[in-house]
Each structure stands twice: as structure tokens, then as C-alpha cells.
């Protein structure tokens, strides 16, 4: 983080120099005013430009505690045009600079996964597909990038990784991102990886599966085992994690950067009401030493991006129902939602949901100000 970024205090400070695409003679509201009313509106439950305008008018006295708003609140058309035209890359750069002021645990697990905002398609333009990096322990969004409509997550992930401080972190990615180049990028940046393994890795996938069928040899390769049992929503899920060191001959044959350990996960789910039982096996590769406790925690941490980000975006922010579709607006408003989520998450109290906290922030001025005033 640069010395200039260290001197900045709040979220809006990072957007002071954001290039404004509007004509000077038509500007009634500065970038900071537009950003503040939009962010505050999203924190308090606004789901579209009309919502943000209505929120701003209702809370004008409170918003003027931060900025003058001499021309009142920007109209929904002003907000719409502004976010359609703002350069999304420039917008995300500033988000990442802001996030880097947040202190994370020394050993942090970073889950990387993609999500499609299903109703953001516009004519021939596909729905927004955003890949995000999520700090599992802190439950904070670290960075995000859109997947090009003519590409997939494989090309987006390396771009995303460049923004992150990976030193000492464990990066977890689903099978789509299990690529040599991605493993090497993490390794070179000083991070560790736990990558899901499926058929897209052909002979490596088959060799790993075969190794776990020879029980005698497994012991010679330092087999470690741990079992977890979770009960929730009428289900009991038992997971058995087994890990071994990758044999040197296969390390050399497959030539994966930093690869040390391979993992088998046997999961069994029992539905209490019906007694039905479902089973599944999954396989992983990792640069971590053969420490099954640490590896199993990293694998479980990866699922936090589903519950802590994707699910919250859909249920609490109604992301899949968003009708913001045109220009750069879908990508830019997703960044605003991620900012709001980070601020809400940092302010959330025990047993308080993000959805519930958004309502409280809208009703309680003091709580709204506490959320907006966070310096992390």
C-alpha cells in the first residue's frame, strides 16, 4: 500500500481522483456526493436508481453531515448515466486500494469463485459473471473482476490474483481454476493453494484417485485422516478427509509447481426425515505440507464464499433480481454492493443477519452513521 493510500481515512477518499465522464457544465453533483448517496442507499436496502434517489431525499439532512449536497439529491437518471459510463477497471482498482487498508489475519484463507447475476442480461449482452476473492475468516470481499463474455473463469482468475497480497495466504479454487499457471502464480507470490481436482486434469485426476485405492501404500505415504460431523436443517453430514504426500515419481511426471499433498474427501449426507443417504468423493491437490487439520479447514473455508458472499448477495441484496443492465452499471453497482457488504459485515453484531442489519441501518440514523464512519 502506498504512503498516499495510508494517509486516506475513509472509503470516499479513495475515489477523489476517479475520472468523471460527465460534461462539466452539466455537473450538479460531484463524484463524492453520487458515491455517498449510492453507498448509503445500498447499505440501507436500496435496490435500484429510483430507490437510491428516494432514499437520498428522505435522508438528506443526515447525508449533509458528510457533504453539502447544495443541489439536493441527484436524480435517478443522473445516477444511471454516471454508473453506466464510469470505467469499471478504474472503479475496481480503487475498491482494492480501500480493501488493502483492512487488517486481515496473518494466515488468511482466500476463496475464489464466480457468480452470475442472472437478470443483468441486456439484449445480446450476457448476464454479468463476476469472479470474486473472499477472505473466509474475515468474511470480506477482497477483489472482483468480470469474466469476459467470450472467455471463462480460467482467464479471469490470474487477473484477479495480481491484485491480492498472497504472502502467507491459502488460496482455494474450484476445479475450473485448477491450472498449472494459476498454481505457479500463487506459488511465486508466496501463497499456498488447495485446488479442487476433477476430470479437467485428466491423468493427474486418475493417478490421484488410484493412489487412494491402495490402503497399504497409503500408510507408507504418510496417510493422515480427520472426520467431521455437522448437523443442520434436518441433515447430518459426515466428512472424512484423507491426505498423503504426493509420491516423488508422480510429482516429477506431472510437474505441478509447489505440489506437495493430495487429498480425498468422502462425504456422506443423511436426511433425518426420510433416512435417505447420499455419498460423494472429491479430490484436491495442495502445496501445503501434509497437515490434515490445516488442509481440511482450508477446504471447509472455501464453502464460505457460497454462504458468506453468493448467498448473501442473492438473499440479502436480491442480486439475481437486479434490473440494472446497461453499460458498465451492472459491474460498478456490484462493486458498490461489495463495499456495502464489507461495511455491514464489519459492523454486524452476534446473531445479526446482513439482511436485518440493512433494515436497522435504514431505521436508525446512529447505526447508519456508525457503518459509514468505519475506518477499518
Tell me the pLDDT band of 124, cut-offs 50, 70 and 90: low
CA 106 from chain centre, in angstroms, equals: 19
Q: Which residue, 10, 36, 132, is CA-closest to 336?
A: 36
Domain boundaries, the chain: 3-99+327-372, 109-310
What is the rounded average pLDDT of the residues 338-366?
A: 94
pLDDT in tens, 41-90: 999 999 999 999 999 999 999 999 999 999 999 999 999 999 999 999 99
Torsion, CA 316, CA 321, CA 324, CA 326, rounded to 10? 140
pTM of the model: 0.90
User: Mean pLDDT over all residues of the chain?
Assistant: 90
Q: What confidence score (pLDDT) does residue 118 get? A: 77
DSSP H or E run through 207: helix 202-211
Q: Is residue 40 over pLDDT 90?
A: yes
Whole-number percent of the chain with pLDDT over 90: 66
Q: Is residue 370 over pLDDT 90?
A: yes
Q: Which residue, 308, 282, 277, is CA-closest to 296?
A: 282
pLDDT in tens, 170-227: 999 998 899 999 999 999 999 999 999 987 788 999 999 999 998 888 988 899 999 9
Lowest mean pLDDT among 103-107, 156-160, 227-231: 103-107
pLDDT in tens, 299-314: 999 988 998 999 999 9
Backbone angle region of 168, left / alpha / beta, with phi > 0 → left and psi within -120 to 50 → alpha:
left
Q: Is residue 375 over pLDDT 70?
A: no
The counts of H helices and E strands in the chain are 17, 9
85 Cβ contact list (under 8 Å, min separation 6):
21, 22, 327, 328
Sheet of 109-117: strand order equals 140-146, 128-135, 109-117, 170-173, 192-197, 277-286, 261-271, 235-245, 224-232
Q: Which residue, 224, 290, 292, 305, is CA-closest to 260?
A: 290
CA 334 from chain centre, in angstroms, equals: 11
Amino acid at each position: 500500500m502506498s504512503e498516499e493510500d495510508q494517509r486516506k481515512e475513509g472509503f470516499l477518499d479513495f475515489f477523489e481522483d476517479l475520472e468523471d465522464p460527465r460534461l462539466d457544465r452539466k455537473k450538479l453533483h460531484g463524484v463524492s456526493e453520487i458515491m455517498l448517496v449510492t453507498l448509503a442507499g445500498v447499505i440501507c436496502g436500496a435496490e435500484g436508481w429510483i430507490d437510491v434517489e428516494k432514499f437520498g431525499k428522505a435522508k438528506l439532512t443526515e447525508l449533509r453531515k458528510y457533504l453539502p449536497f447544495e443541489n439536493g439529491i441527484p436524480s435517478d437518471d443522473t445516477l444511471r448515466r454516471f454508473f453506466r459510463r464510469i470505467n469499471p477497471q478504474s472503479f475496481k482498482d480503487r475498491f482494492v486500494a480501500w480493501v488493502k487498508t483492512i487488517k486481515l489475519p496473518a494466515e488468511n484463507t482466500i476463496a475464489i469463485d464466480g457468480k452470475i447475476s442472472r437478470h443483468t442480461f441486456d439484449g445480446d449482452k450476457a448476464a454479468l459473471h463476476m469472479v470474486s476473492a473472499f477472505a473466509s475468516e474475515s468474511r470480506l470481499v477482497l477483489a472482483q473482476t468480470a469474466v469476459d463474455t467470450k472467455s471463462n473463469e480460467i482467464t479471469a482468475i490470474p487477473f484477479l490474483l495480481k491484485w491480492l497480497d498472497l504472502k502467507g495466504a491459502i488460496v482455494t479454487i474450484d476445479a475450473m481454476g485448477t491450472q498449472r499457471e494459476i498454481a505457479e502464480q500463487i506459488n511465486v507470490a508466496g501463497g499456498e493453494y488447495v485446488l479442487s481436482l476433477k476430470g479437467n486434469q485428466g491423468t493427474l485426476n486418475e493417478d490421484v484417485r488410484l493412489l487412494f485405492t491402495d490402503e497399504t501404500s497409503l500408510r507408507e505415504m504418510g496417510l493422515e485422516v480427520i472426520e467431521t460431523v455437522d448437523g443442520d436443517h434436518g441433515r447430518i453430514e459426515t466428512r472424512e478427509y484423507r491426505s498423503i504426500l504426493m509420491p516423488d515419481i508422480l510429482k516429477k511426471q506431472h510437474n505441478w509447481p509447489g505440489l506437495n499433498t493430495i487429498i480425498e474427501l468422502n462425504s456422506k449426507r443423511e436426511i433425518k426425515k426420510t433416512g435417505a443417504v447420499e455419498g460423494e468423493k472429491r479430490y484436491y491437490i495442495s502445496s501445503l505440507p501434509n497437515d490434515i487439520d490445516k488442509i481440511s479447514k482450508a477446504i471447509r473455508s472455501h464453502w464460505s464464499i457460497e454462504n458468506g458472499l453468493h448467498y448473501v448477495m442473492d438473499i440479502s441484496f436480491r442480486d439475481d433480481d437486479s434490473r440494472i443492465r446497461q453499460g458498465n452499471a451492472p459491474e460498478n453497482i456490484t462493486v458498490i454492493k461489495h463495499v456495502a457488504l464489507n461495511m455491514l459485515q464489519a459492523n454486524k453484531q452476534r446473531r445479526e443477519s446482513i439482511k436485518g442489519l440493512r433494515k436497522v441501518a435504514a431505521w436508525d440514523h446512529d447505526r447508519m452513521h456508525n457503518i459509514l464512519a468505519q475506518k477499518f
